[in-house]
Chain A
Amino acid sequence: MKLKKSKKIKKRPGINDETSAVSDEMQEEDSEDIAAVPDAIRYDEDEGEEDLNPELKEQVGPGHRLLGRGHRSTRLEERSEAALLVSEFGANAEGDGAKIELSDLLPTASKKAQKQIETLKKSNRTLDTPLSRQETERIHRDVAFQKVATEVSQWKSVIQQNQQAEQLVFPLNQEPSGPKPIEHVVAGWKAQTPLEQEIFAVLNANKQPINNPILTPAEEESIKAMSLEEAKIRRAELQKARALQSYYEAKARRDRKIKSKKYRKVHNKAKRKEMLKQFDEMVKTNPEGALEELKKLEMGRMQERMSLKHQNSGKWAKSKAIMAKYDEDARKAMQQQLEINKELTQKVATALNNDEEDEDDEEEADTEEVLPDFVNDVEKAGDASNPWMRGKLTEEEQEKEQESKMAEEVILLEDEEEMEEEVNEEEKLLREFENRRKQQEEDIVDETALSEFTSIIRGLTQKPEVETIVDNSTPLEEGLTRIQTLEDTEKLQETDISETAEPEVVEIVQADETAKETSTKKAKKRKRNIELKEVITKESRVVTVPLKVTTEEVGEEDMEDEMDQRGLIKEAFAGDDVISDFLKEKRKKEDAGKPKAIDLTLPGWGEWGGKGLKPSRKKRQRFRTKPAQAVVRKDAKLPEVIMSEQRDKSITLHQVSSLPFPFENYAQFESTIRCPLGRTWNSEKTVKKVTLPRVVTQLGAIIEPMGREELKKSQQQKAEPHTATNQKKGPNNISNLLVI
């Protein structure tokens, strides 16, 4: 069977031909033999043909792959006569054992191809098995995907631009209508007609200016050129300067390289001396400059004092310190360092400096003398919150000023003393004591003049002599004016122009007793931080009117007809009632708002119940749920105000109830919607900008998908960024989908 098959195959154009084609042929001829053999087996046999037929392989040679796969359509005609050595290619191996060469198969192959064939013949390498169809397809897909991906990703920037654009106008590529600015038109102008071209050619040839009609290039060149002599002189100058510079540099280099310590020391000293000399001269000639110099020196000194440079604390110094015990040199070096430090930190003594120092000394002395007072003060104010600890009560600014003045006086006095140079320490001390005593006395006076507020705190130990005026702007701490007696009210009624010249006096002067009374009352009610009565009955300014009221009011305000005594009395005493009512109401509101404790005890459970029996205290405590902490009311700090704690539900319908997408916090979102958009609050231009439609389409125009030109344009734009804020570029077909 094998033999037969080989005969058959020899006729076929390619070995790798599809098996089905083979089986077709075989079925015709070998039908008697293979009839019983199932298809699958036949297929297997065909697969194995390459391995099984070395003979054939030899015949065809290694180049068989080059021939390519045959096509099913190109079917060869069958030949019925048995001819052993007939080949359909017309290539015959002559003789019995002869082989067909590849070159025989390709008689007309070019030289190049032949060469390739040669090399193929030489190589003994076997070919890899071809990849499976799935794998090859996958690779193809991968490659294709990458290609498309790169292509598409080019559009990314365009899409992003369009997504971010404030407005898109379709169709794209619209030429802006209307007249162009003249500059643009002229700048873009080019010679077009032959006459123009000719003229420009002539101009160009003669290097005549075309755009900027000031100077021709030739003229410019001539201007640039200089005379020969000048150039020579300049060159000589430059040469000389360069030479001098190089000399100087060389000298400096030599100098710098000297390592001798002694030389350095001497050098530095000399430098220093010279500087001092110069400085002294400067003091005489140019005091301002000298001062500056001095400052510089001071600065250097300061820096030295601040830094750790020569303090023997560096790495080197530490290493030396270890050695110092045994090594003389190291010790010396350290010593030197310290000396340097000393030298550098020493103050420079000059004429200018001396005076200042003296003054400084004086000042220092002064401060030393005054110091005890300050120290005492600080100690006194150790506990600022506790007025008892302070020894004196709330310090007012005036007082402070006085104190500072006092201190100044003391300083002045002592200055004088020093001027006289009769420094007697005992006397000084005495004087100091005196001063202190004076101050204390003044303190006492001040204390008496303190506000009512403080007097209450002090527990009414001292008599409140005079009520002071407190500033009108701070109403809560103001002194209290209360119309208590009839006489008072009458007084107020009588207030006239003459009185109102000093309006405050009326309010402030009060009977001592009343003040006492009120203060005691207040002391009792001190629990609340602000007293309502204070607020309501606060001092008021009297206003005068040039005209006197003649007619009584009529109509609804009839009751004012009898506004003589009784009305006044009512007026004066009405307040208390009103205030207490208000306070009650407020307390009620506060209580209502407070969360209450819930008692869940059931009498009779776990113990005896009945009439007159109460559940035990322990039980009650156990079954009482603690109330949540009350929320601080909005009006907690406003005694004369009750504010509703109800939530306004009506507006919530119109409010945004949750944070929209890109925002991270409320503040961001709220600030983006804070500005109104309407015409009532904005100029027309702003309104138009703010309410710009995102997409504008021209009526009736065809909107085509974006072409490649757009891509190029956007890339160009990227290369040279344009300032257009709302670019009116359209998207491509992809971004069209994304945007709309």
Chain B
Amino acid sequence: MASAGEAPGGEDTHVEKKKKASERYWEEPGKDGNQTEKNDGESKQLQHKKAEKSRKRKLEHKPRDQSRGKNFLSGKTDPFPGPAPVPKDRIQKFKRKEDMSKPRHKRHKLRQLITQSEDASKMSQNQAARFDLLLPEDAGFLEGDEGEDTCTISQNDIADAVDLASSAKYFNLKLSQFGPYRLDYSKTGRHLVLGGRRGHIACLDWQSKQLMCEINVMESINDVKWLHSESMYAVAQKKWLYIYDSNGIELHCIRKFNDVLRMQFLPYHFLLATVSATSFLQYLDVSVGKEVAAICTKTGRLDVMCQNPYNAIIHLGHANGTVTLWSPNQKEALVKMLCHQGGVRSVSVDKTGLYMVTSGMDKKLKVYDIRTFKPLKSYFLPAGASCLSLSQKGLLSAATGDIVQVYRDVWSTPVTKPYMAHRVRGAVSGLHFCPFEDVLGVGHGDGFTSMLVPGAGEPNFDGLDANPYRSAKQRQEWEVKALLEKIQPELISLNPNKLGEVDRATFEQRHQDRVEALGFDPLAKQKFVPKFKKKGRSSSGAVERRKKQVAHEDQRELIKNTIEQKMRTEKEQEWKIKESVVFRKKSALDRFKK
């Protein structure tokens, strides 16, 4: 389903074929480049001329090179000399930094360093742009017939239209006994864990519908979450936090984490962030099993939570309409923003970390630019959204009661109606888009529904990061590498690029930090303690006298210096005056002066 274009389109299919054929490496390189050429042919020509000129100049410099590169023994010349060109817009996509201005003075070492780093960055940029060619899959989407709303198309229609493999991804699990379900997909999107409110946990490889384990913990369950891989998951139960493995064996019961209501897992930091009914936000490092931070938010019961995948900041929603942003390094909310008049019901942040979508009790759905903290769009949903989820491609799913709606482009264009809508049996309690698949998982009162949402998932996956098709061996290897590349929790901050900046704190600030860390001031002058002397010479009076000798030494020095300075200047001035009197030319009229 990830590549909707693969679906053999029937006559009355709703699943649209990809409009643009995906790029293949054997096709002409840079189709779009050709288009632009047409647009500004003249400028291109000019550029071409310039390029030719410069090439000529180069050739003059290096005649040997040219002869070596061009002339083959057979007498043929290379029709495409040099490396294949890469389209400019694609290079721009991978741009990491601006070019630096080189120092004007002759600083060979610096110049060399700068040129080297620039070369490296240019090379990486070019290479990345070149290899972008290897990601040919495009996301498809649903397109209705003329006059037909896409939101009226039912799931059954879609499932009928698509290929067998994709249609198998639409299914319902009727689990009415242990009622409303929470769910979570693993990072690769292969595995699904379901947690029923009344204690039912099921792990399954949902694509092959293979059940990995199914248990009942005989306790109420608040949330379930996969840890870094599909071999372990955390369950927030009535009292404590538990960790189970994929066979349903209880690995840990973590008593430090009580009354947990919601959880988020930060995959690159190996941190499990939990929020509890006691208004605590806690971070658990799952690689070493240590609690990294416990922050009392003092905002009451916390049951709205999401993470910003871009910078690993945790967003919490509160009953007073505010959304707060947290990192494990500060006991205070990094940002607190008032989003709704009523309480916040759900929060979600998109993959790129640009947009935050919130829904509140005031039945509004708001879109924020999370970098500037400014509202972008505001929508009024007649029934209000209880759950929100954003897909990798930026589709927003919102649940109102028993209806799941999916919206497209909520931040760029004002939306008036959903892209898709689907009714499930029972109120929705959990929503999740499956990564790398065009599937939306819905947990509700009557079980679980897997919906088809064309265009939801990222079609190109990174095989080294999250490979849906990896074997057990590959997973093990990945685990080791991921652990080696684990990011320390101290690096979590609003701006993830901060690590690349020089710490410009003043000396005072740094000293303050040091004092705080050490518990004492290493630069402070030690107090003078007079030596103990025998024979009655350490009487309190004598001690005081001795202290007095040393007291205010620095001040005394200062005073001494200033006085000396003063004296010197005075003397100089006097001398000057004298000098002027002595050496002044006497005029004849001086005799009359008095």
The 10 A-B pairs at the shortest CB distance, nearest first, are namely A575-B341, A549-B401, A540-B378, A650-B490, A672-B117, A650-B329, A655-B503, A662-B110, A683-B127, A553-B427
B427 touches A554 (CB 8 A): yes
Q: B320 within 8 Å of A by Cβ? A: yes
B500 touches A186 (CB 8 A): no
Number of interface residues of A (CB under 8 A): 92
Point out which of B124, B361, B485, B493 has the most chain A C-beta atoms below 10 A from its C-beta: B124
A543 touches B418 (CB 8 A): yes
B490 touches A541 (CB 8 A): no
Q: A453 within 8 Å of B by Cβ? A: no
**Interface residues, chain A, with chain B CB atoms under 8 Å away:** 164, 166, 182-183, 186, 472, 475, 492-493, 495, 500, 503, 532, 535-547, 549-557, 570-571, 574-575, 578-579, 581-582, 585, 635, 638, 640-644, 646-659, 662-664, 666-676, 678-683, 685-686, 689-690, 720-721, 723
B-chain residues with CB within 8 Å of residue A554 when the two chains form the complex: 180, 427, 445
A-chain residues with CB within 8 Å of residue B504 when the two chains form the complex: 666
Taking the nearest CB of chain A, how far is it from the CB of B219, in angstroms? 16
- Give CA–CA (A682, B363) in the complex, Å: 45
A-chain residues with CB within 8 Å of residue B107 when the two chains form the complex: 662, 664
Which B residues, 302 to 316, have Cβ-Cβ distances below 8 Å to chain A?
303
Q: B37 within 8 Å of A by Cβ? A: no
State which of B46-54, B202-210, B332-340, B541-549 sits at the interface with chain A: B332-340
Q: Residues 114-155 of chain B: 1 if any A CB is under 8 Å from the residue's CB, otherwise 0? A: 101100110110011011000000000000000001011000
Taking the nearest CB of chain B, how far is it from the CB of A484, in angstroms? 13
Taking the nearest CB of chain A, how far is it from the CB of B109, in angstroms? 4
A656 partner, pick from B61, B445, B488, B502, beta carbons under 8 A: B502
A574 touches B501 (CB 8 A): no
A-chain residues with CB within 8 Å of residue B361 when the two chains form the complex: 571, 574
Contacts A539-B378, A644-B333, A657-B510 given; indicate if A571 touches B363 (C-beta within 8 A): yes
A671 partner, pick from B100, B127, B375, beta carbons under 8 A: B100
B374 partner, pick from A638, A646, A647, A651, beta carbons under 8 A: A638
B109 touches A662 (CB 8 A): yes
Contacts A555-B197, A667-B100 given; indicate if A547 touches B421 (C-beta within 8 A): yes
- Given A540-B366, A643-B334, A651-B491, 19 more A-B residue pairs with CB atoms under 8 Å apart are A182-B73, A183-B71, A540-B378, A541-B414, A541-B416, A545-B400, A551-B402, A551-B426, A574-B321, A574-B342, A575-B362, A582-B322, A648-B329, A649-B516, A658-B502, A682-B127, A682-B128, A683-B124, A721-B62
Taking the nearest CB of chain B, how far is it from the CB of A612, in angstroms? 38
Q: B379 within 8 Å of A by Cβ? A: yes
- Closest residue to A642 on the B side, CB-wise? B336
- Give CA–CA (A475, B375) in the complex, Å: 7
- Give CA–CA (A662, B105) in the complex, Å: 12
State which of B77-85, B283-291, B381-389, B585-593 sits at the interface with chain A: B381-389
Taking the nearest CB of chain A, how far is it from the CB of B110, in angstroms? 4
Taking the nearest CB of chain A, how far is it from the CB of B347, in angstroms? 15
B501 touches A670 (CB 8 A): yes
Taking the nearest CB of chain B, how far is it from the CB of A213, in angstroms? 9
Contacts A652-B513, A671-B97, A679-B464 given; indicate if A536 touches B338 (C-beta within 8 A): yes
- Give CA–CA (A332, B465) in the complex, Å: 94
B429 partner, pick from A549, A555, A635, beta carbons under 8 A: A555
- Closest residue to B261 on the A side, CB-wise? A556
A-chain residues with CB within 8 Å of residue B491 when the two chains form the complex: 650-651, 654
A547 touches B197 (CB 8 A): no
- Give CA–CA (A355, B503) in the complex, Å: 73
Q: B56 within 8 Å of A by Cβ? A: no
Q: B57 within 8 Å of A by Cβ? A: no
Contacts A538-B375, A644-B333 given; indicate if A183 touches B73 (C-beta within 8 A): yes
Contacts A183-B73, A647-B505 given; indicate if A543 touches B380 (C-beta within 8 A): yes
A541 partner, pick from B73, B121, B373, B378, beta carbons under 8 A: B378
B-chain residues with CB within 8 Å of residue A653 when the two chains form the complex: 490
Taking the nearest CB of chain A, how far is it from the CB of B594, in angstroms? 46
Q: B405 within 8 Å of A by Cβ? A: yes
28 A-B pairs within 8 Å (CB atoms) are namely A183-B68, A475-B375, A540-B379, A543-B381, A549-B402, A571-B342, A578-B338, A635-B373, A638-B337, A640-B337, A640-B339, A641-B337, A643-B336, A647-B505, A651-B491, A653-B490, A655-B498, A656-B502, A657-B502, A662-B110, A663-B110, A663-B113, A664-B107, A668-B103, A668-B110, A683-B124, A685-B127, A686-B123
B-chain residues with CB within 8 Å of residue A550 when the two chains form the complex: 401-402, 423
A666 touches B502 (CB 8 A): yes
A-chain residues with CB within 8 Å of residue B377 when the two chains form the complex: 472, 541
- Give CA–CA (A291, B104) in the complex, Å: 51
Q: B295 within 8 Å of A by Cβ? A: no
A-chain residues with CB within 8 Å of residue B211 when the two chains form the complex: none
A541 touches B303 (CB 8 A): no
Taking the nearest CB of chain B, how far is it from the CB of A387, in angstroms? 27
- Give CA–CA (A547, B405) in the complex, Å: 10
B416 touches A472 (CB 8 A): no
A686 touches B500 (CB 8 A): no
B505 partner, pick from A164, A495, A652, A690, beta carbons under 8 A: A652
A542 touches B379 (CB 8 A): yes
B-chain residues with CB within 8 Å of residue A495 when the two chains form the complex: 380, 382
Q: Residues 492-508 of chain B: 1 if any A CB is under 8 Å from the residue's CB, otherwise 0? A: 01000111111111000
B-chain residues with CB within 8 Å of residue A667 when the two chains form the complex: 100
Taking the nearest CB of chain B, how far is it from the CB of A487, in angstroms? 17
Contacts A542-B379, A571-B361, A667-B100 given; indicate if A166 touches B116 (C-beta within 8 A): yes
- Give CA–CA (A682, B122) in the complex, Å: 11
Contacts A166-B116, A546-B149 given; indicate if A675 touches B379 (C-beta within 8 A): no
B-chain residues with CB within 8 Å of residue A689 when the two chains form the complex: 120, 123
B337 touches A686 (CB 8 A): no
B415 touches A543 (CB 8 A): yes
Taking the nearest CB of chain B, how far is it from the CB of A503, in angstroms? 6
Taking the nearest CB of chain B, how far is it from the CB of A79, in angstroms? 76
